[in-house]
């Protein structure tokens, strides 16, 4: 079963421990402390929309993308009730282009880490870069392999996994240990990584000499 089908199945079953009804404190902290200027923003794997709605409330022009129709319907309902300027689209991020690019900011809470294979993580990073303007920022939250958990939890990556996939297209501004915001008393450890897209002149391209990190 691929990632998209698995997430759709979990939303249908109501098995969504990552969806706890609040924006993630990591997003709030980075956007307010860096700070990230208001711009067009893309929330990859937006789920039911809490992070997208928070960004919209801060003046960002937000598009949320997800593979689950159930999640997107809930997100659209929340946006309507909050009168928030958010748009939501169904997309498989490894395959689809999101309308509205280039964006100035991309937020990813737990999508990048869901791909087991390095080749898919490289494609994911390239696709983020392709949706960003030069100098645009990507905030990624990923499960942290330094944590040895008992029982279920998010997929886990090493710092090297992140760097190897992202660095060809991105300058890594910070890579720190955090945890996922959660309603649970013992939230899973996370990597919090802030990256900036390299300029077109600094992109390494693919094996055929093509620019793999360019704009859409």
pLDDT for 209 equals: 38
pLDDT confidence of residue 18: 59
Query: What residues make up the domain containing 197?
Result: 27-201
Q: What is d(CA 54, CA 174) in angstroms, rounded to the nearest whole number?
A: 22
CATH assignment of the domain containing 99:
3.40.50.150
The better pLDDT of the pair 96, 183 is held by: 96
Average pLDDT (159-187) is: 94
Question: Which is more confident, 213 or 207?
Answer: 213
pLDDT at residue 164, rounded to an integer: 97
Nearest-CA neighbor of 107 among 163, 56, 169? 56
Distance, in Å, from the CA atom of 165 to the CA atom of 75, rounded to the nearest integer, reads 30
Would you place residue 121 in the very low, low, confident or very high pLDDT band (cuts 50, 70, 90)?
A: very high
Q: Closest Cα to residue 75, out of 55, 58, 99? A: 55
80 found inside a domain: yes
Residue 126 lies in a domain: yes
Predicted confidence band of residue 149 (pLDDT cuts 50, 70, 90)? confident
Looking at the predicted structure, is the pLDDT value of residue 46 above 70?
Answer: yes
50-57 vs 69-82: helix axis angle to the nearest 10?
Answer: 30
Of the pLDDT bands very low, low, confident and very high (cuts 50, 70, 90), residue 203 is very low
CB 39 within 8 A of CB 31: no
Identify which has the larger pLDDT, 20 or 74: 74
Please name which of 8, 72, 85, 76 lies closest in space to residue 40, comparing C-alpha atoms. 85
| pLDDT bucket at 208, cuts 50 / 70 / 90 | very low
In a domain, 193, yes or no: yes
pLDDT, mean of residues 88-98: 94
Query: Most confidently modeled of 25-29, 45-49, 185-189?
Result: 25-29
Q: Is 104 within the bounds of a domain?
A: yes
Residues 102 and 26: their CA atoms lie apart, in Å, by 23
Q: Name the domain count of the chain.
A: 1
């Amino acid at each position: 079963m691929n990632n998209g089908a698995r997430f759709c199945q979990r939303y249908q079953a109501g098995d969504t421990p990552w969806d706890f009804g609040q924006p993630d404190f990591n997003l709030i902290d980075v956007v307010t402390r860096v700070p990230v200027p208001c711009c067009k923003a893309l929330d990859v794997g937006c789920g039911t929309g809490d992070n997208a709605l928070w960004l919209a409330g801060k003046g960002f022009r937000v598009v949320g993308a997800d593979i689950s129709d159930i999640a997107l319907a809930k997100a659209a309902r929340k946006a309507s009730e909050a009168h928030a300027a958010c748009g939501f689209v169904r997309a498989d991020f490894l395959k689809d282009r999101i309308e509205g690019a280039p964006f100035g900011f991309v937020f990813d809470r737990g999508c990048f880490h869901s791909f087991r294979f390095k080749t898919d993580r490289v494609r994911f990073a390239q696709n983020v870069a392709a949706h960003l303007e030069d100098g645009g920022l990507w905030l990624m939250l990923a499960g942290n392999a330094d944590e040895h958990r008992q029982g279920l939890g998010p997929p886990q990556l090493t710092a090297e996994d992140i760097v190897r996939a992202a660095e060809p297209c991105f300058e890594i501004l910070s890579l720190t240990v955090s945890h996922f915001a959660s309603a649970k008393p013992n939230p899973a450890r996370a990597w919090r990584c802030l990256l900036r897209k390299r300029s077109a002149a600094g992109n390494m391209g693919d094996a055929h000499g093509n620019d793999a990190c360019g704009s859409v």
